[in-house]
Amino acid sequence: MRSMRVASLGATLGVLVLGSAALAQSPSAPAASAVDCGTDVQKLGYSPLNMEFDYFRFTEQGIREVTDACGIELSIADPKGDAASQVSGIENLIAAGIEGVGIVSIDPVAINTAVEAAHAAGIPVVSQVSTFEGADAYVGLPEHEFGRLQGQANGQALLALKPDKETYKVAVLNADSLGSGLLDRKQGLIDGLGESVTNYEIVSDVEAWAEDTALSAVETILQANPDLDLIMTVNDPGSLGARSAVQSAGKALNTDVIVGGLGIDKRVLEGVLAGDFPASVSPEPVNTGRMIAQALVTLASGGTVETQIDVPPVLITTENAQAYIDLLYPAQ
């Protein structure tokens, strides 16, 4: 059964399943022999959010591992964060003869036009990051667990670094407009925090998922809340912008204000090693890309896959951050 082959592929490719303790683990290499190349698939497409983000470049890397192994052409339509450009880019991919497309929707409503066009041409659609109406399958994070791991680490850092506070003041930088997956991730952050501490107050919950907007948002939050204890973010650009704002305000990281790192941007990983962030969580983008490609190949070949294919996240600490740097940034 095709769906079972996709599920087993995830295990073979080294997706690291976490127990409740969420122990830090090292990234693993793929097993190329596990790739199922389907039946005569020639061309696939990928429409990310923005290829300026490392996460999507690493997703592309994973997709290419499968397409290269199968002799399949991969075309990328980078919308650079613009919803209208994403729709037109996918329509161009369809016109160019793709047989399957992976999409990270910028606008879950606007994307319907492109999804309908793909289905009218008999082209399967796999969603990433956040699902949307009409997607044949979703491949990616169990979003709530992704956030929960980081929220739990944030709470533990509060207890370790500020054990005597009566009430912790917390700010959340969200990406609510990007869809239900990011809402689940934010709720995971809050739930994970609550597993470690209950005496907290969320003083700000604002959308700021790009590095520049996060910097500006945190500057404003700190002005209103100079005694802020913790900033939780839903992605790595948000974490980096928050760190810059804290430093610009003359506050000490992990002494005055804790910024919860999130993601696998090299600067976040180095920040974990340097002690700027108490931890981070890897969304495992390379594994995600491999599984998106495998799902598309299977669907384009007439097979079936599970409608939700989860790629479990991995907690990153000082114990395994260097291993991720070595794997993801070997030439830098």
Burial class of residue 240 in the structure, from the number of CB atoms within 10 Å of its CB (0-12 exposed, 13-18 middle, 19+ buried) = buried
- Is 194 in the same domain as 260? yes
- Is 152 in the same domain as 247? yes
- Is 256 in the same domain as 275? yes
Q: Tell me the pLDDT tens digit for each residue of 240-263.
A: 999 999 999 999 999 999 999 889
Instruction: With respect to residue 189, please indicate whether it lies within any of the assigned structural domains.
Output: yes
Length of the chain: 332
Containing domain of residue 103, as a range? 2-141+283-313
Q: What is the DSSP letter of 130?
A: S
- Is 223 in the same domain as 122? no
- Is 25 in the same domain as 58? yes
Instruction: With respect to residue 203, please indicate whether it lies within any of the assigned structural domains.
Output: yes
Instruction: With respect to residue 81, please indicate whether it lies within any of the assigned structural domains.
Output: yes
Tell me the CATH number at 265: 3.40.50.2300
Do β-strands 230-233 and 280-282 pair in parallel, antiparallel, or remain unpaired? unpaired
Q: Which residue has the tokens 């005055």?
A: 256
- Is 120 in the same domain as 178? no
What's the total number of domains in the chain?
2
- Is 81 in the same domain as 176? no
Radius of gyration over every alpha carbon of the chain, rounded to an integer in angstroms: 20
- Is 63 in the same domain as 147? no
CA distance 6 to 71: 19
The per-residue pLDDT for 3 is 33
For residue 101, what are its two tokens?
């497309």
Instruction: With respect to residue 318, please indicate whether it lies within any of the assigned structural domains.
Output: no
CA distance 97 to 121: 9
The per-residue pLDDT for 2 is 30
- Is 178 in the same domain as 221? yes
- Is 162 in the same domain as 182? yes
Among the candidates 282, 297, 321, a domain finishes at: 282
Instruction: With respect to residue 151, please indicate whether it lies within any of the assigned structural domains.
Output: yes
Instruction: With respect to residue 27, please indicate whether it lies within any of the assigned structural domains.
Output: yes
- Is 92 in the same domain as 117? yes
10 Å Cβ neighbour count for 176?
A: 16
Instruction: With respect to residue 68, please indicate whether it lies within any of the assigned structural domains.
Output: yes
Spell out, as residue ranges, where the chain has pLDDT lower than 70.
Answer: 1-33, 332
The per-residue pLDDT for 332 is 57
Q: 197 near 156, Cβ under 8 Å?
A: no
DSSP 3-state assignment of 308?
Answer: strand
Q: How far is CA 239 from CA 12, 65, 148, 218, 261, in A?
A: 32, 29, 16, 10, 5
The per-residue pLDDT for 28 is 52
Do β-strands 137-140 and 308-310 pair in parallel, antiparallel, or remain unpaired? parallel
Instruction: Using the Cα atoms of residue 245, residue 247, residue 250 and residue 254 in order, give the sign of their dihedral.
Output: positive
For residue 14, what are its two tokens?
């080294």
Q: Nearest to residue 308, comparing CAs of 184, 214, 220?
A: 184
CA distance 250 to 189: 26
For residue 8, what are its two tokens?
């087993």
- Could you give the residue ranges of the DSSP H alpha helices within 162-210? 180-196
Residue 45: beta bridge partners?
75, 101
Instruction: With respect to residue 296, please indicate whether it lies within any of the assigned structural domains.
Output: yes
- Is 235 in the same domain as 184? yes
